[in-house]
């Protein structure tokens, strides 16, 4: 069963992952944290272009989310992850 087809996910983003035979489930799960489908597609393009891991995708999604949506804990974890990734 196609996970992305049954959730709120930008169709172009879904097709990019399926075409590239990436881990569509893991990346899609992270991208669906973005309610704005246009932001999903924008982040998806960057993920594909830079061949980002699911963990990097999660961090990028958190950065793209409106500031008010992240809890203080999520913000702190993102700061720590950025330092580790660099």
Domain of residue 56, residue span: 4-85
How many structural domains are present in the chain? 1
Question: What tens digit of pLDDT does each residue of 2-47 get?
Answer: 444 434 556 666 666 555 555 667 887 888 888 888 888 888 888 8
The predicted-structure confidence for 45-66, as pLDDT tens digits, reads as follows 888 889 888 888 888 998 888 8
Longest CA span, the chain:
37
Residue 19, pLDDT score: 56
Give the C-alpha distances (Å, rounded to integers) separating 11 from 8, 15, 19, 60, 85.
9, 6, 12, 19, 30
At 29, list the tokens: 């799960």
């Amino acid at each position: 069963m196609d996970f992305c087809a049954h959730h709120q996910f930008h169709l172009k983003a879904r097709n990019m992952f399926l075409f590239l035979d990436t881990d569509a489930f893991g990346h899609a799960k992270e991208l669906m944290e973005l309610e704005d489908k246009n932001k999903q597609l924008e982040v998806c393009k960057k993920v594909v272009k830079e061949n980002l891991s699911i963990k990097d995708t999660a961090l990028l999604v958190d950065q793209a989310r409106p500031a008010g949506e992240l809890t203080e804990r999520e913000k702190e974890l993102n700061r720590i992850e950025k330092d580790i990734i660099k």
